[in-house]
Structures are given as structure tokens and as C-alpha cells.
Amino acid sequence: MTLRIGNFSGFYGDRFDAPREMLTGGEVDVLTGDYLAELTMLILARDRLKDPSAGYARTFLRQLEETLGLAHERGVRIVTNAGGLNPAGLADAVRALAARLGVPVRVAHVEGDDLTARYPGALAAHAYLGGFGIAACLREGADIVVTGRVTDAALVTGPAAAHFGWTPADHDRLAGAVVAGHVLECGAQATGGNYAFFGEGGVSLRPGFPLAELHEDGSSVITKHPGTGGFVDVGTVTAQLLYETGGARYAGPDTTARLDTVRLTQEGPDRVRIDGVRGEAPPPALKVGVNRIGGFRNEVVFVLTGLEIESKAALVRQQMRARFAESRPARVSWDLVRTDQPDASTQETASALLRLVVRDPSQEAVGRVLSGAAIELALASYPGFHVLAPPGKGSPYGVFEDVYVPQGDVDHVAVLHDGRRVTVDAPQDTAVLDDVPPPALPEPLPPGPARRAPLGLVAGARSGDKGGNANVGVWVRSDDAWRWLAHALTVERFRELIPEARELPVTRHVLPRLRALNFLVEGILGEGVAAQARFDPQAKALGEWLRSRHLDIPEALL
């Protein structure tokens, strides 16, 4: 029997009316909402500092107020990690809402992920739990299950395990659900949103949200409701499969899914079958995301217009350095962005931007010093001096760190709708992760004429962040293009095309079944998204930058 699991949220702030769209657009058995990311946990932690009863995604409550009755009428269960740092608090709020609306629903929640007390100085430290706590709640009749920090895929493995009766030993089936969950977790990214070849399926202003038709053997079909925007094809599913992943082993607390076994087949319009997925025992340790305040940050952007851009930038740097000699922040970084064009027809396109960012444990060091130094130059620096905005007092920034604890050291508990507490045992069968031996590469294309052109003419890409690291997944859509890409885009060539990576550890993972390469770049994002170490702090567009770079491409592919 098929289990239809839909998604209505890929992040905290996603389309507000998506739950109603999913409930009214077609058949669905379970709706999942993913609200949590590394940065979201920090935001919720700061909310909780101001109000101990806070710490969850309040948007979910407002969405539920409009759709709870409809979900109950249609028998649709809802599973969400909107509980954030306070799943019990959100569960209570949902019960109060249901009572006020007169809708008789059973609400359960999952807890045990909060390990903040174990990490002195942390604002939030949460283990990534698996799906069997969710499964326990659903098996006992819950209509709504609220969790804190679980893996994104757990929102799918939990309902699937409950529905099909899977046990922790069903690694292949669980791995199939993990892959389906990974495709669903970011909402419209699976239906044409943020897609490299976005124009080919017809530009959609409002892509629909995805759903998976799961089967008892772990296979699935990724689709969407009829008549909704966007499209689902092998490319959109491949792109999402590569998002924020590493090598062939995609590890989680329920199972380790082998991405090198995934088989994708276009079954029909807006229908992509996923099968063949193999699973292995999960690792013995759980990932814990630790968020701390790293200090204070401030910035100012100087606008340099017209001629002698480099000389103007050098002058203001020297002037600021002289001022910093009196009281220098702990970390100072400069970036000159050459947005200027010669003989420009507008002042804006004649201007470059010089960005100065300072960090320090002291707010005064990044506030008063930077503000005074930058503003005092207003009449005493390069010609045409002005800034995009005057610097403020400086604001705190967060840093993110991954640590690991044994699975058995975490108290994973399902709190049922009637108040009973069910302990979820750690898996007995675990396996330490090892690298998968590199697969054989295809035969290279025979020599032939080539042309200098952007990589993106033949390859798609999607990139994202994991703490301070970034991944860039690159894929092609024909066997000949794969024969070329597998040999042409080496680690050395990647470093040439992405100069920021030249001094950083870069690992290439080969996924022949997806015709894909996945590059993991360590440390390119510093201490994580909240630290804002680079122009694109989550590496969302790193893949698009790579696609824009030129290299010699066989004319037969162009």
C-alpha cells in the first residue's frame, strides 16, 4: 500500500499558505514541515534567552490555525520539527489551539535532543535524532507530532516506519525513505526551485511543493499535486539529492544510505521513480550541532566611483589601518568587489564596493572604533567618498560546531498524546563510516575540437553549507557529457575555477549512477553561516559561480 508524504515547508519563513495548498491540491496521507537549519537554531536560541517559553517556530501555529480543521476532516497527519528548542512548548500550544478551534486532535512530541547543559557557554546544543521517536508517536495514534532537532529525513523515515512496520534492522527500506526525505526536505527545490536549468521546464513563478509516494520496499516516486507550478524531472531530483551531501555514504541515525546505489527513472510527466537504494547500519555516534556567540561584528561598505579604483581602495585602507593602530579589532578583513564598468552610463555601474568587516570579543571595539574611524574620513579621503550606510554599534554573531556523542548517551523519548513516555532505544547494529573506494571512471571521450565556454552550458550544479564546509554537486544529463566531466573536472581544475578553494582541503566524490561529482570544500565558510565569513555565507550560489567559469569543452557537447 502506498504512503503519500508531502512537504509544506523547507525552512523557517517558507510560503505561508503551503499547508492549505497541499491539503486541497490532491491526495496526501502525511504532511511534513521542515523549519530548522543551523542558523535557525541560533535564532531560536536567542528568542529563548528573551522568553523561556519561546524557542519554537511560531509561524507553524498561525499556519495550523487556518488548516487544522481541514487536516482533521481529511485524515491527514502532520509531522514537523517546528518545535525547535522547545517541542513540549509547541505541543502544548497546538493543544490549546485545537481546543479553541474545537478540533479533536491527538498531539505528541519527541524530546531528548537538547544537550545544551553538557556544553558550557553554548546557546544551543542539539543532537540530530532519527525517525523512530516519530514512529512511536504515530503508532500510538498521534495526529500531530512535534519534534525538536531531528534529521531532515527523519520526518519521512518516521511515518514510513510506522506505516509499514519497519524495524531498525530494515536498512535498505529505511535508506530508500532517507533518500525520499532528503528530496522532500527543501520543498520547492525538488520541483524546479533554485534549479540550474530553470528555463527548460517553463518558468514558474510559484512552484508547487513536492510529495513522495512511498512503497513498502523503500522505493518511491517523487511528484507533486496536479496543476501546481514547477516541474519534477530527473534533473530536479538529482540536484536536490546532491544538496548538502558528501560522499557515497549519507549517514544518519536510522541508517546510512548509499547514494551511489540510487537509481532515478522518469516514469512520466512530473513523476520520478527512486529505487535500488541500499542501506547500511548507522554510525555509532550522533551528530550534535553546537551554537555559541563568537563575539561582535560590524561592517562598512565604501563606494569607489570612476577612475583609479585600486588607488582609492589603497588610500582608504591605509587611513583605516592608521586608525586601527590605536585600537585594532581582533579580526579585520577587506574585500574589493569590482562591480564598476568603464565608460559607464550610470553612476552605479561606474562604482566598485570596498567592504570592511571587523570582529572582536568586545562590542565597543567593533562599534565605536569602526564608526568613528570610517565617518571621520568623510571629508578627508578619496574623491567621491561615501558609504552604503554608516556603521552601527556592531552586533553579536554566532559560530557553529559539529561534535559527536555515542547514540546510547542521548535520551530519545516519544511523549505520547496521553502523556506516556516511551524510550526509543539506540540501534544495536552500528558501523563506523569508512570511505567508499572510488568507482571506475567511464572511458574518456575521444579527442576532438573543443571550445572555451562556461561549464554551465553542459552541467548543472547545486551547492550548500554544512557548518564551515561547503559542498558543490555537479551533474550532467548524457552519457557523453559524463565521460567528459568525470575526467575534466578534477580537484585541481576545481581549485583553478574556484580560487577561494586553492589553499583549502577539497575532496571529490564520484557518483556514476547520477552522472555526478560532489566536491566538499572544508573551511570555506569559516565558523558557519552566522559568522558571515564570506559574501555568500551559506554557499548557496557557489555552484552557479562554478557554472559560470570557462574551460575547454568538446564541441560535440555544445
pLDDT value of residue 229: 94
Average pLDDT, the chain: 95
In which band, very low, low, confident or very high, does the pLDDT at 202 lie, cut at 50, 70 and 90?
Answer: low
Residue 170 scores a pLDDT above 70: yes
Give the mean model confidence (pLDDT) for residues 547-553.
Answer: 97
CB 185 within 8 A of CB 152: yes
pLDDT value of residue 107: 98
CB 526 within 8 A of CB 462: no
Highest mean pLDDT among 358-367, 369-378, 503-512: 503-512
In which band, very low, low, confident or very high, does the pLDDT at 6 lie, cut at 50, 70 and 90?
Answer: very high
Distance CA 484, CA 515 (A): 11
Distance CA 116, CA 293 (A): 14
In which band, very low, low, confident or very high, does the pLDDT at 531 lie, cut at 50, 70 and 90?
Answer: confident
Pairing of strands 413-415, 351-360: unpaired
pLDDT value of residue 204: 79
Give the mean model confidence (pLDDT) for residues 353-372.
Answer: 89
In which band, very low, low, confident or very high, does the pLDDT at 390 lie, cut at 50, 70 and 90?
Answer: confident
Give the mean model confidence (pLDDT) for residues 431-452.
Answer: 94
CB 358 within 8 A of CB 387: no
In the chain, DSSP finds a helix count (H) and a strand count (E) of 13, 26
Q: How many CB atoms lie within 10 A of CB 211?
A: 31
Give the mean model confidence (pLDDT) for residues 438-455.
Answer: 96
In which band, very low, low, confident or very high, does the pLDDT at 203 lie, cut at 50, 70 and 90?
Answer: low
Residue 384 scores a pLDDT above 70: yes
Residue 297 scores a pLDDT above 80: yes
The dihedral region occupied by 75, where left means phi > 0, alpha psi between -120 and 50, and beta the remainder, is left
Please give the share of the chain, as a percent, with pLDDT higher than 70.
99
In which band, very low, low, confident or very high, does the pLDDT at 552 lie, cut at 50, 70 and 90?
Answer: very high
Cell of 472: 558543490
Considering all CA atoms of the chain, what is the largest pairwise distance in Å, rounded to the nearest integer? Answer: 75
Q: How many CB atoms lie within 10 A of CB 297?
A: 21
Distance CA 520, CA 200 (A): 28
- Name the DSSP class of 478: S
pLDDT for 39-57, tens place per residue?
A: 899 999 999 999 999 999 9
- Quick one: which of 244, 206, 148, 208 has its CA closest to 8? 208
Domains (range + CATH), the chain: 3-289+402-423 (no CATH), 294-399 (3.30.70), 450-557 (no CATH)
Distance CA 544, CA 196 (A): 8
Element (H, E) at 492: helix 491-497
In which band, very low, low, confident or very high, does the pLDDT at 201 lie, cut at 50, 70 and 90?
Answer: low
Residue 543 scores a pLDDT above 70: yes
In which band, very low, low, confident or very high, does the pLDDT at 326 lie, cut at 50, 70 and 90?
Answer: confident
Residue 371 scores a pLDDT above 90: no
pLDDT value of residue 373: 85
Residue 75 scores a pLDDT above 80: yes
